[in-house]
Structure 1
Amino acid sequence: MSNKTEIFSKKMCDILNYGALNLAMGIGYESGLFEALSGMGAPACCADIAAEAGVSERYLREWLGVMVCGEIVEVRVDKQGQELFELPGEYVSFLCRSGGNSNLGVYTQEIPLLTDCAREGVLEGMQSGAGISYERYPKFYSFMEQLADAKHRDVLVQTFLPSVMDGEMVRRLEEGISVCDIGCAEGVALEVMAQAFPNSQFTGTDISEESLNNARKRVAELGLNNLSFQLQDAAGDKVEPQQFDYITAFDSIHDQTRPFEALRNIHKMLRSGGVFSMIDIKAGSSVSENIEHPMGSFLYTVSLMHCMPVGLMGGGTGLGMMWGREKAVSMCYDAGFSRVEVNDIPEDGFNSHYLCFK
């Protein structure tokens, strides 16, 4: 066996083990098992952990086997020969909800969810080139909205907006401007901004009537009078020009079937001197540029299973999540923006902030 063959053989074993480990970790995260382990306070037997988590002891024992072999959970045997399990304290912030922005455990649910939603569709698309409709992804969208909502509530007003134009955007929002969020889903980002900046007017657009109805109901309950919603395709032919001073798009442009038309419409909707914040995945535009990306394989897989196929629907572009900095900047300039800045986002290692000026 050559050295290269031996190395690849080991890599294949690692792939199989880590793929299985991701699946089991996703199940553990959703079932609250990491939270239960972190709350034990000391090494504990399987029965006690099962009681704490409210799960089957037999299922838990098998799951713990995965975690121990994957070096996520530690095990030792006490004097009575009983196995005791412990989640190292150093791992808690990466695996539990209490970890905030450090929490990567939540993402272990993503690939299993996409597999449930789209595996057959991707296999069919490999042969036909056809896209996959949004309707195939209800569980995935629910999961992603929960993630985005939590993030917006934690960092949007406190961290992100103060970083836009060195605080200038916060000053404008405090004085009162007109703001639109493209692909707003159930409108949590807008809700947070509308509450923080009562002098500004906010509008959300999306193609899902169900999401917008949920948003309208929640906004009515909150009594927010400076926030409304419109059913609108971002790339549609009928948009009113020069409506807004500031437009945002949080990870929504790369999913558009006609992303260039969406960007062109955003430019059209902005008033002169207006600003567009496009938050999108931090990556290069070619595969070779992303070889060293720490999450490259994961992000390309998410794109393969969701972003690219939904973008192919109806003869769409199929841009994909990994369209990258060079293509994003070029498309923004082609859409009419006079200046495009690419900035890192505080406390966000996944995304870049494309700040575009009209």
Structure 2
Amino acid sequence: MTQLASPPAPNEIEAFIGQVVTDLSAAFSGVLVNVGRKLGLYQAMAELGSCTSVALAEATGIRERYVREWLANQAAGGYVAYDPERQTYVLPRAQAMVLADDQSPIFMAPAFDVAASFWLDEDQIVQTFRSGEGLGWHAHNHRLFCGTESFFRTGYRAYLVSEWLPALDGVIERLTRGARVADIGCGHGASTIVMAQAFPESSFVGLDYHDASIATARQRAAEQGVTGNITFEVRSATEFDGENFDLVCFMDCLHDLGDPVGALAQCRKALKPDGKALLVEPYAGDRLEENLTPIGRMYYAASAMACTPNSLSQEVGLGLGAQAGEERLRKVAREAGFSNLRRAAQTPVNLILELTP
């Protein structure tokens, strides 16, 4: 180890140790968030209001000793509030919207399943770094697929129909009358199903190279009674063909593709002359220093373990990464033959971009 010119000050060491302890605490506790969600502890607390560990144990059928320890951890992390005088716990409304209500526009609990999948795939990820080779989406633990579906579905339900599609010029009118729509890289079909439910006069096709995800997408559509105007096909983004589409969507997936330029070029060929492409991408600035934030940290982690390896596993292997930024995406779109890329909307976690031929 290189000898430092001068040792760090004690307060600098203490500060960084404190940061690492905070991160370790979050990493350990993330498992208990999954436990709480899967055992219904958060939902029960939302229904009970102020409660003791005994009351929560009785409501959920979980042994009280485990519930007591879980509650103490959640209180230490600020996920639940503790009243020391009454020795009761409560799940505040804000926390309930994030952790307990799966219909909430800010429901985030499933993201911890994504984190769990990365830990389970740690050996594969280490080997990928060593070899420099790629790691396809399909090769990850199945919890990545379900966690991603549930986490992204929250945003699609909250914003896709009410804000993102209306931000595209003339698209809502087309969808209401009846349009042809392709959803590339659809995964479990969360975004495709949301659109098909909202616009019954339009037809939707979801495409993904992962056959297991397409099988799940078909099951999800059937479970929700959305079958008349929706189909799913196993096909990669660059194999996508067809013509006269009014809208082609890439929902949180363009940066994962090995050949995003080729995929957008195929998309352009499939669009009507006045058709549009919708890109929903992770929010990012164009410079690294703009992304050195908690959200940027999360996205760079996902990018290093899933997005970039998936791209490098495919032909071309451009490796855009999850923090490509608007200007880099604009360059990709121009190389694919699109004349214009416009930021139509944004959220704290997403860029919503409109492409026109």
When the two structures are superposed, what TM-score results if normalisation uses the length of structure 2? 0.86
Does 1:235 pair with 2:238? yes
1:217 shift after superposition: 6.0
Which has the larger share of helix? 1
Please tell me the residue identity of whatever aligns with 1:62. Answer: E
Quote how far apart the aligned CAs of 1:279 are. 0.6
Q: Distance in 2 between matches of 1:169 and 1:220?
A: 26
TM-superposed CA distance for 1:215, in Å, is 4.2
Report the secondary structure of 1:311's partner residue. helix
Say which is worse superposed, 59-68 or 94-103, in terms of deviation. Answer: 94-103
- Equivalent in the alignment of 2:63: 56
Correspondent of 2:125 among 118, 122, 147: 122
Long gaps (5+) in structure 2 = 1-8
Kept in 2, the 8 Å contact 1:195–1:224? The answer is: no
Which amino acid counterpart does residue 344 of structure 2 have in structure 1?
N
Amino acid at match of 2:245: F
Shift of residue 277, structure 1, vs aligned partner: 0.4
**Alpha-carbon contact 2:110-2:150 (below 8 Å) kept:** no
Query: Which residue matches 1:355?
Result: 354
Within 2, Cα distance between the matches of 1:216 and 1:110?
22
Distance (whole Å) between structure 1 residues aligned to residue 182 and residue 322 of structure 2 = 22
CA contact (8 A) 2:257 2:314 kept: no
Gaps of 5+ in 1: none
Q: For the structure 1 residues 152 and 65, does the alpha-carbon distance in structure 2 shift closer, same or farther, using more than 3 Å as the test?
A: same
Deviation at 1:139, TM superposition (A): 1.8
1:67 correspondence with 2:74: yes
What is the identity, as a one-letter code, of the residue corresponding to 1:28? G
Which has the higher mean CA deviation after the structures are superposed, 335-344 or 195-204? 195-204
Could you report, residue by residue, the CA deviation over 1:76-128 in whole angstroms, capped at 9, with x for unpaired residues?
4457xxx4323334432233216712333343333123212x21111112211
CA distance in 2, matches of 1:218, 1:102: 21
Give the distance between the partners of 1:306 and 1:41, measured in 2 at CA: 39
Between the aligned residues of both structures, percent identity stands at 27
CA distance in 1, matches of 2:328, 2:96: 38
Give the match for residue 5 of structure 1: 13
Describe the shift of the 1:172–1:326 C-alpha distance in structure 2 as closer, same or farther (beyond 3 A).
same
Aligned to 2:104: 100
Alpha-carbon contact 1:177-1:201 (below 8 Å) kept: yes
Q: CA RMSD in A?
A: 2.6
1:32 aligns with 2:33: no
1:332 corresponds to 2:333: yes
Is 1:88 the equivalent of 2:96?
no
- Determine the C-alpha separation between the residues in 1 that align with 2:149 and 2:98: 20
* Residue 206, structure 1, aligned to residue 205, structure 2: no
Q: Which residue pairs with 1:132 in the alignment?
A: 135
For residue 230 of structure 1, report the CA deviation from its aligned partner: 3.1
SS of the equivalent of 2:187 reads: coil
TM-score, normalised by the number of residues in structure 1: 0.86
Mapped contact 1:27–1:109 kept (Cα < 8 A): no
Task: Map Cα deviations across residues 247-301 of structure 1 (whole Å, 9 max, x no partner).
Answer: 111111111122221122112221212110011101024422212x341211211
d(CA) in 2 for partners of 1:9, 1:219: 48
| Larger CA deviation: 1-10 vs 177-186 | 1-10
Q: Please report how far the alpha carbon of residue 341 of structure 1 lies from its aligned counterpart in structure 2 after TM superposition.
A: 0.3
Which residue type is aligned with residue 125 of structure 2?
V
Amino acid in the other structure paired with 1:281: P
Give the length in aligned residue pairs.
346
